[in-house]
Amino acid sequence: MGRNGRTHALVGAYALDAVDDLERAAFERHMRDCDGCRAECAELREAAARLADDAWSPPPGRLRHTVLTAATNTRQNRPPRRPGPAVVMIAVLVTAIGTVPQREPAPRSTQLGTSGPGRERA
């Protein structure tokens, strides 16, 4: 479909205000020269207005009270508990202790003063 055909296809969306700013500007330029699109847009807007008039009705007067009462009587979920400062401090200390490098013990022969590999006894 060419550019002109694509522009014609926007008439319904334009009539319902369902186009973005670029499409709106392009279609409005197009409608200056297109009697068919101007007429179709007017008809679609009139039909949409009639449909909206028949579908809309004021809400019942008791609706606000009913909704607020239901909200008050509905059990609410509690927000998740946050750990206290002591729990946070313990977690930090455990993490810190776990990351401190540990020294490996010296080989047993060095600890006892006996000869190890590479040393000879006198």
Does the residue 40 lie in any domain?
Answer: yes
Residues of the chain with pLDDT under 50: 1-2
Q: Give the count of domains, the chain.
A: 1
Residue 86: both structure tokens together? 């002591």
Does the residue 48 lie in any domain?
Answer: yes
Per-residue pLDDT of 78-88, as tens digits, reads 888 777 888 88
- Residue 1: predicted pLDDT: 38
- Residue 40: predicted pLDDT: 95
Model-level pTM? 0.43
- Residue 54: predicted pLDDT: 72
| Class of residue 44 by CB neighbours under 10 A (exposed 0-12, middle 13-18, buried 19+) | middle
- Residue 75: predicted pLDDT: 85
Does the residue 47 lie in any domain?
Answer: yes
Residue 15 neighbours by CB under 8 Å, 6+ apart: 40, 41, 44, 45, 48
Q: Are 2 and 34 in contact (CB under 8 A)?
A: no
Does the residue 86 lie in any domain?
Answer: no
Counting Cα atoms < 13 Å in the Cβ hemisphere of 35 gives: 0
Does the residue 30 lie in any domain?
Answer: yes
Q: Give residue 16's domain range.
A: 3-56
How far apart CA 34 and CA 42 sit, in angstroms, is 13
Does the residue 44 lie in any domain?
Answer: yes
Does the residue 52 lie in any domain?
Answer: yes
- Residue 8: predicted pLDDT: 85
User: Where would I find the H helices in the chain?
Assistant: 3-8, 11-15, 21-33, 35-55, 63-73, 85-99, 108-112
